[in-house]
């Protein structure tokens, strides 16, 4: 890879950083208080502000998004088998397998790219205890369809909302649905706390249980009333979260402007389609997702990826090849791909492009011109 004429490397998920002076003031506050972790005042402030932002009763901050999902799974008493999409980050499946729960992989809908309720229904057995929906690329999945299935079969319904902070469904922000939702605030997300996560819920008892579980099960100074682990968020991570929350609207506005430029300038390229956002809902616009139809474009998705990388544009295949084709699942479920045709097909087409503060609208235009020119090469 050689440095492009812009003198930059463009990455997927380059961290957003808010007002540095505000962050420095919060760091000084942490050091002056000598309160670094253990449910400190900044963590409590962040939880309160995130709950109000999402419009949900409870937000329980965690050390990272995977721990948030693992504790949500344990707190809702999921066991035996749980249905998840294969088209997701591997942590969704691992959070189950790590706890001895068998993930059953559902296919996705070819239009929404989210978990397909009809595929979910086919997988339900007497051992199924829950469903985990994933709001892929920040676009909410069929919440009502999944809730109907969960209610009919007496299943728990959780959501992996790692991509969806700031997005809405039917005018209500993600965080309010199912039994609970797990967020990631990793550095690559539109809203980050350096490293962190959270679980949101409107269930008082579930929130109480989650707060116990993230602190070893301690209830008071000397009383351990529940099995738990160390899932606490530190004060420095909360400071980053509070700082970035103040700049979130600006981050999203930049994402949206860049996304709109990609949409307009990729329009009409044979074999290239850009996944849309619902203009009637709130979205964080972080993910710019292409589908590359190799036959029509004239070049393979991987050839396009290599071409972009040669120009310093580090496009990613989010999420290739699907969880079912990664270990240990490809050994546990050999041949499963034949029952996941949409997942298999889409994983060969998907390509994510850079977005965020790192790239200007003019640079987006340059990326689009590269794609157009590459497709036209004989």
Domain ranges of the chain: 20-244, 248-376
Contacts 24+ apart (CB under 8 A), 335-340: 336/86, 336/105, 339/107, 340/86, 340/105, 340/106, 340/107
Work out whether the CA dihedral 281, 282, 288, 289 comes out positive or negative: negative
How far apart, in whole angstroms, are the C-alpha atoms of residue 316 and residue 314?
6
Place of tokens 């994510």: 352
So what's the pLDDT on residue 294?
A: 97
Separation between Cα atoms, residue 41 and residue 49, nearest integer Å: 12
Strands (E) in the chain, as ranges, are: 58-62, 81-85, 102-106, 128-134, 156-160, 168-169, 172-173, 180-184, 197-201, 272-274, 288-292, 350-353
Q: Are 361 and 258 in contact (CB under 8 A)?
A: yes
Give the CA radius of gyration of the chain.
21
The per-residue pLDDT for 4 is: 79
pTM for the whole thing? 0.96
**Average model confidence (pLDDT) across the chain:** 97
pLDDT above 60: residue 1: no
Number of alpha carbons in the 13 Å side-chain half-sphere of residue 97: 16
Is the per-residue pLDDT at 372 higher than 80? yes
Topology of domain 20-244, per CATH?
A: 3.40.640
Could you read off the pLDDT of 14-54 as tens digits, one per residue?
A: 999 999 999 999 999 999 999 999 999 999 999 999 999 99
Question: Looking at the domain that runs over 248-376, which CATH code has it been given?
Answer: 3.90.1150.10
Confidence of residue 226 (pLDDT cuts 50, 70, 90): confident
Query: CB–CB of 46/238 below 8 Å?
Result: yes
Helix axes 41-54, 20-33, angle to 10 degrees: 140
Q: How far is CA 329 from the centre of its chain?
A: 21
Q: What is the pLDDT of residue 93?
A: 98
Whether 289 and 137 have beta carbons less than 8 Å apart is answered as yes
Do you know the residue count of the chain?
378
> Are the C-beta atoms of 193 and 240 separated by less than 8 Å?
yes
């Amino acid at each position: 890879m050689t440095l492009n004429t812009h003198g930059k490397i463009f990455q997927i998920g380059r961290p957003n950083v808010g007002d540095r002076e505000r962050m420095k003031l919060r760091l000084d506050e942490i050091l002056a208080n000598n309160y670094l972790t253990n449910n400190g005042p900044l963590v409590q402030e962040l939880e309160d502000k995130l709950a109000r932002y999402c419009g949900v009763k409870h937000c329980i901050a965690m050390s990272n998004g995977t721990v948030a999902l693992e504790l949500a799974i344990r707190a809702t008493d999921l066991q035996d088998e749980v249905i998840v999409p294969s088209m997701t980050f591997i942590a969704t499946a691992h959070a189950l397998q790590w706890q001895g729960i068998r993930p059953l992989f559902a296919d996705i809908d070819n239009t929404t790219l989210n978990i397909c309720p009809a595929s979910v229904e086919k997988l339900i057995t007497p051992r199924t205890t829950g469903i985990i929906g994933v709001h892929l690329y920040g676009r909410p999945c069929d919440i009502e369809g999944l809730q109907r299935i969960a209610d009919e079969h007496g299943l728990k319904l959780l959501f992996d909302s790692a991509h969806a902070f700031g997005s809405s469904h039917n005018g209500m922000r993600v965080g309010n649905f199912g039994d609970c939702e797990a967020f990631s605030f990793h550095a690559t997300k539109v809203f980050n706390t350096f490293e962190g996560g959270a679980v949101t819920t409107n269930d008082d008892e579930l929130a109480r249980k989650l707060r116990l579980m993230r602190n070893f099960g301690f209830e008071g100074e000397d009383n351990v009333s529940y099995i738990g682990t160390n899932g606490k968020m530190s004060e420095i991570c909360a400071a980053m979260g509070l700082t970035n929350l103040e700049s979130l609207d600006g981050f999203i506005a930049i994402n949206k402007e860049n996304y709109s430029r990609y949409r307009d300038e990729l329009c009409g390229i044979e074999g290239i389609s850009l996944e849309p956002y619902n203009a009637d809902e709130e979205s964080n616009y972080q993910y710019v997702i292409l589908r590359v139809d190799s036959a029509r474009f004239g070049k393979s998705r991987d050839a396009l990826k290599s071409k972009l990388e040669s120009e310093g544009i580090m496009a990613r295949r989010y999420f290739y090849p699907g969880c079912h084709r990664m270990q240990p699942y490809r050994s546990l479920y050999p041949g499963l791909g034949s029952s996941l045709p949409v997942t298999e097909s889409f994983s060969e087409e998907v390509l994510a492009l850079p977005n965020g503060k790192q790239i200007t609208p003019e640079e987006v235009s340059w990326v689009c011109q590269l794609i157009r020119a590459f497709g036209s090469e004989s």
